[in-house]
């Protein structure tokens, strides 16, 4: 396993370098060049030239990339001129907020989706299964922002039960101390997550319920409850854990519209603003971070897979 992890780490480095090169090149293709993106359309050619020289934008791209990479390796993600703060400060402020929202949302979604998925698989084609399938398809098919806006309309605007915006506190403690404000964004997130995971779990259990080993368990005299929880459950989770790992970047990134709708200053909102303002340093940093999260998710999926399925051993 150790050798495997070392190899995966090496892979991670290679992949990250490739992704940064591609992103770096793409972001330097912004219309008018990145200096114009910073100074604005009204800047005079002289100003652009002076600025380019001062900040090294006149150097060849590979030199710029090398410098950027070198700084990044030293923990310096650059300085965001639009928000007048170091990029790393902005990210470290936003990331925990997103993690709180995404993990609570996914957690609630899994807590609802997995049992309902099992229920649907066990009573497949029953009325309950069909109704739940309908609900899940609605969640699956609706854009997140629409779900968010509808919830705001009903529960905040019409019924005045919950506030229409997420907690505005800057610290995690502050966010968690305002749970009522957290309910609508989490509910939006959880609804979409539930739809996804209940479908995955339903089909995973249905794949397993017809397996020969299930019949063997019954032939031993095991009750249906025992067959389900003792045999089918763990085997069904194998594919769920794999998918969960692969979904990690989506879980983090999936918050983007929810954060915009509820004005929740997390990674999603940060990236949204960066894209609107052509904030190159910030976008580069977020891309690198997303790459690392994607690779981490893959690694977690593989480790979880090996833990649940004894047939898989990495050497």
Partner 1 sequence: MAPLLEVNDLRTQIKLREGVVHAVDGVSFQLEPGETLGIVGESGCGKTMTALSIMNLLPTGGHIAGGSIKLNGQELTTLSDEQMRNIRGNEIGMIFQDPLTSLNPTMTVGKQIAEAVALHREVSREQAMDRAAEVLDLVGIPRVRERIKEYPHQFSGGMRQRVMIAMALACEPKLLIADEPTTALDVTIQKQILELIDDLRIRLGMSVILVTHDLGVIAGRADRVAVMYAGRISETTDTDTLFNRPRHPYTEALFQALPDKAADAGERLYSIPGLPPDLVNPPAGCRFAARCRYAVDRCRAEEPQLVSEVAGHEFRCFYPVGPSERTDTGRLATYNAAPAEAALAGPGIGDVLLDVSHLVKDYAVTKGAVLQRRVGWLSAVADVNFTIRSGETFGLVGESGCGKSTIGKLVVGLEKPTSGSISFEGKDLAKSSAREYRRERRNIQLMFQDSYASLDPRMRAGTLLREPLVIQRLGSKQEQLKKVAEMLDKVGLPRTAADRYPHEFSGGQRQRLGFARALMLQPELIVADEPVSALDVSIQAQVLNMMKELQHDLGLTYLFISHDLGVVRYLSDKIGVMYLGKLVEVGPAEEVYLRPAHPYTKGLLDSAPVADPGAEKAKVSEGVTGELPSAIHPPSGCRFRTRCPFAQAICADVEPPVQRFAGEGHLAACHFPLQTALGDAVTASAALPE
Q: Which residues bind partner 1 (CB under 8 A)?
A: 4, 7, 10-11, 211-213, 215-224, 226, 230-231, 234-235, 238, 308-311, 314-315
Query: How many other CB atoms are there within 10 angstroms of residue 196's CB atom?
Result: 20
| Shortest distance, position 233 Cβ to partner 1, whole Å | 10
| Shortest distance, position 55 Cβ to partner 1, whole Å | 39
Query: How many other CB atoms are there within 10 angstroms of residue 161's CB atom?
Result: 11
CB 269 within 8 A of CB 257: no
CB 188 within 8 A of CB 298: no
CB 258 within 8 A of CB 149: no
Name which of 217 and 256 has its Cβ closer to partner 1.
Answer: 217
| Shortest distance, position 295 Cβ to partner 1, whole Å | 14
Rounded Cα gap, residues 247 and 249, in angstroms:
6
Going from the C-alpha of 7 to that of each of 2, 126, 302, the distances in angstroms are 9, 48, 13
Name which of 76 and 223 has its Cβ closer to partner 1.
Answer: 223
SS3 41: coil
Q: Give the list of residues 6+ apart from residue 126 with CB closer than 8 angstroms, or none.
A: none
| Shortest distance, position 15 Cβ to partner 1, whole Å | 12
| Shortest distance, position 203 Cβ to partner 1, whole Å | 16
Core vs surface per residue 33-52: b (16+ CB within 10 A) or e: ebbbbbbeeeeeeeebeebb
| Shortest distance, position 294 Cβ to partner 1, whole Å | 18
CB 51 within 8 A of CB 57: yes
Closest Cα partner for 196 from 147, 244, 233, 236? 244
Name which of 74 and 311 has its Cβ closer to partner 1.
Answer: 311
Closest Cα partner for 139 from 164, 108, 103? 108
Number of residues that this document lists for the chain: 315
| Shortest distance, position 219 Cβ to partner 1, whole Å | 4
Name which of 122 and 243 has its Cβ closer to partner 1.
Answer: 122
Name which of 28 and 218 has its Cβ closer to partner 1.
Answer: 218
Name which of 149 and 222 has its Cβ closer to partner 1.
Answer: 222
Rounded Cα gap, residues 149 and 174, in angstroms:
24
| Shortest distance, position 6 Cβ to partner 1, whole Å | 10
Rounded Cα gap, residues 315 and 310, in angstroms:
13
């Amino acid at each position: 396993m150790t050798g495997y992890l070392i190899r995966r780490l090496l892979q991670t480095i290679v992949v990250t370098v490739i992704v940064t090169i591609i992103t770096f090149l793409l972001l330097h293709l912004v219309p008018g060049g990145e200096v114009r993106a910073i100074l604005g359309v009204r800047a005079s050619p002289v100003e652009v030239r002076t600025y380019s020289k001062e900040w090294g934008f006149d150097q060849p791209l590979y030199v710029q990339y090398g410098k950027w990479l070198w700084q990044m390796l030293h923990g310096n993600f650059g300085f965001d001129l639009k928000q007048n703060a170091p990029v790393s400060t902005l990210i470290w402020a936003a990331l925990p907020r997103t993690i709180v929202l995404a993990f609570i949302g996914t957690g609630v979604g899994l807590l609802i989706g997995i049992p309902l998925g099992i229920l649907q698989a066990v009573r497949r084609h029953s009325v309950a299964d069909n109704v739940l399938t309908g609900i899940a398809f609605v969640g699956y098919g609706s854009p997140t922002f629409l779900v968010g806006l509808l919830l705001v309309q009903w529960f905040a605007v019409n019924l005045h039960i919950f506030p229409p915006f997420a907690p505005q506190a800057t610290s995690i403690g502050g966010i968690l101390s305002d749970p009522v404000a957290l309910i609508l964004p989490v509910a939006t997130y959880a609804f979409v997550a539930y739809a996804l995971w209940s479908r995955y779990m339903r089909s995973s259990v249905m794949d397993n319920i017809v397996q020969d080993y299930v019949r063997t368990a019954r032939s031993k005299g095991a009750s249906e409850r025992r067959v389900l929880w003792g045999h089918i459950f763990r085997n069904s989770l194998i594919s769920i854990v794999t998918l969960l790992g692969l979904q990690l970047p989506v879980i983090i990134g999936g918050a983007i519209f929810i954060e915009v709708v509820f004005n929740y200053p997390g990674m999603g909102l940060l990236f949204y603003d960066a894209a609107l303002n052509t904030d190159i340093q910030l976008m580069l940093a977020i891309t690198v971070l997303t790459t690392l999260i994607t690779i981490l998710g893959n690694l977690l999926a593989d480790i979880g897979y090996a833990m649940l399925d004894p047939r898989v051993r990495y050497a």
